[in-house]
């Protein structure tokens, strides 16, 4: 979650807070450490990680934070970094998407209990907030992982082409249904010569049908933003979901997501955006038929972009985060500057 943490840190700075990140190099987009980052190796069984951890712990405590925000912590040593100040815990999902996200029992026991003791729990959707038994709660708009300054220009109709399905391409992405719907669309009268582009590492079921291209490899924004921005639609038609950064990224780029009714996907969908049943192959093909028209893709993309600016842009995120920080600090009578 390092790119998203950077977005949140920059949002808080934009409204006057001083922020430092304690993070790790586990995301493909991590890159070199920024000036505001302390980077640790979260593997407590590795003796070589202890000296850097102790140095960062001293520096983090000396920073004197008023509020600590924790997110997906899995190294027990990190529980000591807060220094006893008010804490906000960030919860992304109400359950694992698949077996690859299932944590060992000892982790669930330790970190779930620790997370539940936070002064405030932050959620990105009403759906997840309603399924996790924690109080008090705060809602913050889900942000894209990509800074607005890195977003390509809005792509007009003459340059729109292809449909995309991107991210970690595992079973919960519902790829077999997407491929079946693609084949149906491609054989129909409203096909416009596009390809379905799969972007990312993961699993693909058997041989890919005609008109499908798979760009294998880690999903890196710098390599893929142009492809994503010129797409006619982004398939976020998941079999299991909470909320999706891929959905919000599409909106930021001016591309309409096509989603399933799972989790918070309908909650975050732009007004009038397609919501298609998980196993509704015909309905998904119909959505592809409509958005294959470049003019319709641009109209839908404009609605998606407007929804992003109104609900998910940095000013909205900064305002909600700042309110959450103030609430957490206020529960113990603290200040709200760091």
Residues making up the chain, counted from first to last = 338
Cα–Cα distance for residue pair 34/110, rounded to 1 Å: 30
HEC assignment per residue over 134-174: CCCEEECCCCCCCCHHHCCCCCCHHHCCCEEEECCECHHHC
Same CATH fold, 148-311 and 2-143+314-330? yes
Domain ranges of the chain: 2-143+314-330, 148-311
- Confidence (pLDDT) at 250: 97
- Confidence (pLDDT) at 177: 96
- Confidence (pLDDT) at 30: 60
Stretch among 4-8, 111-115, 273-277, 284-288 having the lowest mean pLDDT: 111-115
Question: Contact at 8 Å (CB) between 281 and 180?
Answer: yes
Neighbouring C-beta atoms of residue 152, cutoff 10 Å:
13
Q: What is the pLDDT of residues 188-227, one digit of tens each?
A: 999 999 999 999 888 777 789 999 999 988 777 778 899 9
Q: What is the pTM of this model?
A: 0.90
Q: What is the percent of the chain where pLDDT is above 90? A: 70
Q: What is the pLDDT of residues 40-76, one digit of tens each?
A: 988 888 999 999 999 999 999 999 999 999 998 889 9
Q: What is the pLDDT of residues 222-250, one digit of tens each?
A: 788 999 999 999 999 999 888 899 999 99
Say yes or no to pLDDT of 39 above 80: yes
Handedness of CA 116, 78, 23, 198 (dihedral sign): negative
Instruction: Order the strands of the 120-123 sheet from edge to edge.
Output: 68-71, 87-90, 120-123, 137-139
CATH superfamily of 2-143+314-330: Glycogen Phosphorylase B; (3.40.50.2000)
Mapped onto helix, strand or coil, the DSSP state of residue 119 is coil
User: Which candidate, 335, 301, 172, places its Cα nearest to that of 231?
Assistant: 301
On the CB side of 294, how many CA atoms lie within 13 Å of its CA?
Answer: 12
Neighbouring C-beta atoms of residue 217, cutoff 10 Å:
12
Mean pLDDT, all residues of the chain = 91
CATH superfamily of 148-311: Glycogen Phosphorylase B; (3.40.50.2000)
């Amino acid at each position: 979650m390092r790119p998203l943490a950077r977005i949140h840190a920059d949002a808080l700075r934009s409204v006057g807070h001083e922020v430092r990140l304690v993070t790790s190099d586990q995301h493909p987009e991590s890159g070199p450490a920024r000036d505001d980052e302390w980077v640790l190796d979260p593997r407590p069984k590795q003796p070589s990680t202890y000296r850097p951890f102790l140095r960062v712990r001293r520096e983090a405590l000396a920073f004197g934070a008023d509020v600590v925000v924790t997110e997906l912590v899995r190294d027990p040593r990190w529980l000591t970094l807060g220094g006893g100040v008010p804490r906000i815990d960030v919860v992304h999902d109400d359950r694992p998407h698949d077996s690859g996200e299932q944590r060992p029992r000892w982790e669930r026991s330790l970190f779930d209990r620790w997370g539940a003791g936070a002064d405030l729990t932050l959620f990105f959707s009403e759906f997840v907030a309603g399924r996790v038994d924690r109080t008090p709660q705060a809602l913050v708009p889900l942000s894209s992982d990509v800074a607005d300054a890195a977003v390509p220009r809005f792509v007009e109709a003459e340059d729109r082409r292809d449909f995309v399905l991107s991210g970690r391409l595992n079973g919960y992405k519902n790829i077999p249904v997407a491929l079946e719907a693609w084949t149906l669309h491609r054989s129909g009268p409203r096909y416009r010569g596009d390809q379905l582009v799969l972007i990312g590492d993961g699993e693909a079921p058997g041989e890919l049908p005609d008109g499908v291209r798979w760009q294998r490899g880690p999903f890196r924004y710098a390599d893929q933003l142009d492809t994503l921005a010129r797409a006619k639609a982004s398939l976020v038609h998941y079999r299991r979901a909470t909320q999706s950064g891929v959905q919000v990224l599409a909106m930021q780029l001016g591309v309409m997501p096509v989603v399933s009714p799972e989790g918070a996907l309908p909650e975050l969908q732009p007004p009038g955006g397609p919501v298609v049943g998980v196993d509704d192959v015909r309905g998904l093909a119909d959505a592809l038929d409509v958005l294959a028209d470049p003019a319709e893709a641009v109209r839908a993309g404009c609605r998606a972009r407007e929804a992003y600016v109104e609900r998910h842009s940095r000013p909205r995120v900064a305002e909600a985060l700042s309110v959450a920080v103030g609430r957490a600090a206020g529960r113990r009578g603290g200040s709200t500057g760091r």
